[in-house]
Amino acid sequence: MSDGCTHDCSTCGKSCGERKADFDFSAKLNAASRVGSVVAVASGKGGVGKSFVTTMLAVAAMREGKKVGILDADITGPSIPKAFGLAGGTFKSDDGIEPSMSNGGIKVISLNMLVNDPSDPVVWRGPVIAGLVKQFWTDVHWGELDVMFVDMPPGTGDVPLTVFQSLPVDGVVVVSSPQELVEMIVSKSVKMAGMMKKKVVGLVENMSYIKCPDCGKTIEPFGASKVDELARKFGIPATLRLPIDPAFAASIDAGAAELMEIPEFEDFASKVLA
């Protein structure tokens, strides 16, 4: 025990034998903002379409009439602005940093909006990246949001840990693909969420199948779907299978995410946000 100890562990970040409470890492939301719920979109590995799922969940929520925001926490590989055709647009007001807004009214903050050249690499150490993610929560004027989606970087490192500890995450959507190591990858994300006492509310199997444009036959190039089996194993209530569809990539590249019609997302988003 250090000299001058107040015996109030909630105000102390030191580790000692007398500690009776966990340190509170939670960050305070921007004073001029209110966020109803926070949903983190996570993956155990990169390249599975996590940002695409984040984007389309936000679009589905927006179509339900909700006020929606996206916090792009994938600092070293931000891709959310491109999906909405956004470039720059942020500025400082009396209430904080003002996020950009899509044509449909979705508020977005991403590192790509704060740099002169989005193609420049982000060569930062983990604590600096994690600090910026917290600033996106504390310093950005989000206004009134019904739901915020957080696009997380892959893995279980500094940034996912920061998001889970610092933001009031209400649910986690895990994104994966139907490849051989899928169970191990999903397991890592689910177990991390459990360690952080966060509930996994949805599982998306991206690139699950291809539908032949000529005969309509469904082909599973990576093998049979495992999404229902994994959902049962981990007790995940909502699932979604997405096909390999070149039209998806073309729309995202064109910044036309809000014009895409993917009916499966409407039902999935409703379950995730229930």
How many structural domains are present in the chain?
1
Choose between 233 and 13: higher pLDDT. 233
For 168-179, the pLDDT digits (tens) are 999 999 999 887
Domain assignment present for residue 21? The answer is no
Domain assignment present for residue 201? The answer is yes
Domain assignment present for residue 109? The answer is yes
For 44-101, the pLDDT digits (tens) are 888 899 999 999 999 999 999 999 999 999 999 899 999 999 987 789 999 999 999 9
Q: In the 8-state DSSP scheme, what is residue 140? A: B
User: What is the residue range of 96's domain?
Assistant: 35-272
**Cβ-proximal residues to 135 (8 Å cutoff; 6+ apart), any chain:** none
The predicted model scores a pTM of: 0.90
Domain assignment present for residue 82? The answer is yes
For 180-209, the pLDDT digits (tens) are 567 788 899 999 999 999 999 999 999 999
Could you give the CA distance from residue 87 to residue 118 in angstroms, rounded to a whole number? Answer: 9
Specify the pLDDT at position 2: 54
Domain assignment present for residue 17? The answer is no
Could you give the CA distance from residue 186 to residue 166 in angstroms, rounded to a whole number? Answer: 23
Domain assignment present for residue 16? The answer is no
Residues 235-241, mean pLDDT to the nearest whole number: 96
Domain assignment present for residue 88? The answer is yes
Choose between 16 and 162: higher pLDDT. 162
Here the CATH number for the domain that contains residue 211 is 3.40.50.300
Could you give the CA distance from residue 197 to residue 4 in angstroms, rounded to a whole number? Answer: 32
